[in-house]
Amino acid sequence: MEVESVADLVARYEQACGSSIPQAAYDFIAGGSGEEISQQEAVGAWRNFRLRPHVLRNVEDVDTSTTALGTPLRAPVIAAPIAYHSVAHSDGEIETARGVSAAGSLMIVPTRASTPLADIARALGGPWWFQVYFVRDRELTRRIVADAVELGATALVLTGDTPYVGQKRRGQLPPIAPEHYLVNFGKYMQPDAEFMYATSQDPTVILDAVQWLRDVSGLPVIVKGLLRGDDAAACVEAGAAGVIVSNHGGRQLDRAVPAVSALAEVVAAVGDRGEVFVDGGVRSGIDVLIALSLGARAVMLGRPVLWALGAEGAPGVERVLRGLRDELSHAMALAGVNRTANIDRSLVR
């Protein structure tokens, strides 16, 4: 029997989205900033690493489970924050949440969600994290964080790489109906011109935002979107519980280095002061094994989740997440490690 790899499954879902969702929605998901150089090299960057497997280890019982900031995970794979899931599916984030929950994974719910946070939280039915964009109106930022806390978010992800939204030659604007646009801010303000300014990105945000978020939420905060050891060290010194190494799927500064190539430097800089995560171009269980070998706690998946959502809804999302777990389990067995805690730097070259 032939087994379809997750990479092939995701490619098939992406192709299906090419005809099942509007072109503008496809472009919004697929697109990268600038000439799309960072976007295009992300998948390939993982493939430059080579493994040094162990042999003759008992690997009958492989366990892919781990924890992320204390949250138990069946596998070290998390759904990255993505704005406006309604571009891919009429139920938007709620449908994604069903798939993530069925797979026993963790979802990072975005500030720019296109469905109400309460409905997403209900569909998840378990722990979830909330991604924070600081908008120009600080009080609106505080309110949406307070809503997330009240609805059961257990950690905050502060995206640090988006003082302005990166310029893209395709898919710059999400093609969604007005009723979905910033629905979670809309309950506090009318969607007029003032609202558009108040909810735009705040480019003045600096490191003290970490402590501010901790103070207003009482939750651990991790910073997403950095690519340097010195920035990572500064984040944990400012009170972050960890960082996500990421170039935002090639959607912010074009020609930023691939996240995986910055991972070892960030892991070394953070040391035992926080947990390190990585995203961008992860498409196979072997990518996950490499990420863990380089010191990541877990990986995050962006576009694969939305392609699955657009092509098959929640069952598709579940299939991608479960597929990565199965591939990781198989790769761990062939690398001679049966626990995620036993994956170390010596496995990768």
Ligand X SMILES: Cc1cc2nc3c(=O)[nH]c(=O)nc-3n(C[C@H](O)[C@H](O)[C@H](O)COP(=O)(O)O)c2cc1C
- What minimum distance in Å lies between the beta carbon of 179 and ligand X? 19
Q: Which stretch binds ligand X (CB under 6 A): 260-268, 295-303, 323-331, 333-341?
A: 295-303
Token pair in block for residue 104: 């026993």
Measured over the CA atoms of residue 237, residue 204, residue 214 and residue 110, the dihedral's sign is negative
Q: Contact with ligand X (CB under 6 A): which of 297, 303, 319, 325?
A: 303
Q: Contact with ligand X (CB under 6 A): which of 34, 76, 81, 316?
A: 81
Nearer to ligand X, 277 or 337 (CB): 277
Amino acid at 65: S
Residue 144, Cβ density class (10 Å: 0-12 exposed, 13-18 middle, ≥19 buried) = buried
- Rounded distance between C-alpha atoms, residue 300 and residue 157, angstroms: 12
Q: Contact with ligand X (CB under 6 A): which of 82, 270, 290, 343?
A: 82
What contacts 105, CB < 8 A, 6 or more positions away? 73, 74, 75, 77, 78, 79, 321
Asked about 248 being catalytic, the answer comes back as yes
- What minimum distance in Å lies between the beta carbon of 214 and ligand X? 18
Nearer to ligand X, 251 or 297 (CB): 251
DSSP result, 167-203: PBSS--S----TTTTTHHHHTTS-SSHHHHHHTSB-T
Nearer to ligand X, 83 or 337 (CB): 83
- Is 42 near ligand X (CB under 6 A)? yes
Q: Which stretch binds ligand X (CB under 6 A): 48-56, 233-241, 287-295, 299-307?
A: 299-307
- Catalytic residue, from 85, 89, 180, 248: name it: 248
Phi, psi of 280 (to 5 degrees): 115, 100
Q: Contact with ligand X (CB under 6 A): which of 89, 248, 297, 325?
A: 248
Contact string 163-202 vs ligand X (x = CB under 6 A): ----------------------------------------
- Rounded distance between C-alpha atoms, residue 113 and residue 185, angstroms: 10
Amino acid at 342: N
- Is 159 near ligand X (CB under 6 A)? yes
Q: CA nearest 277: which of 326, 220, 207, 319?
A: 220
- Is 281 near ligand X (CB under 6 A)? yes
DSSP structure class, residue 86: G
Give contact residues for ligand X (rule: CB under 6 A).
28-29, 42, 80-83, 110, 112, 131, 159, 224, 246, 248-249, 251, 279-282, 301-303
- Catalogue the active-site residues: 248
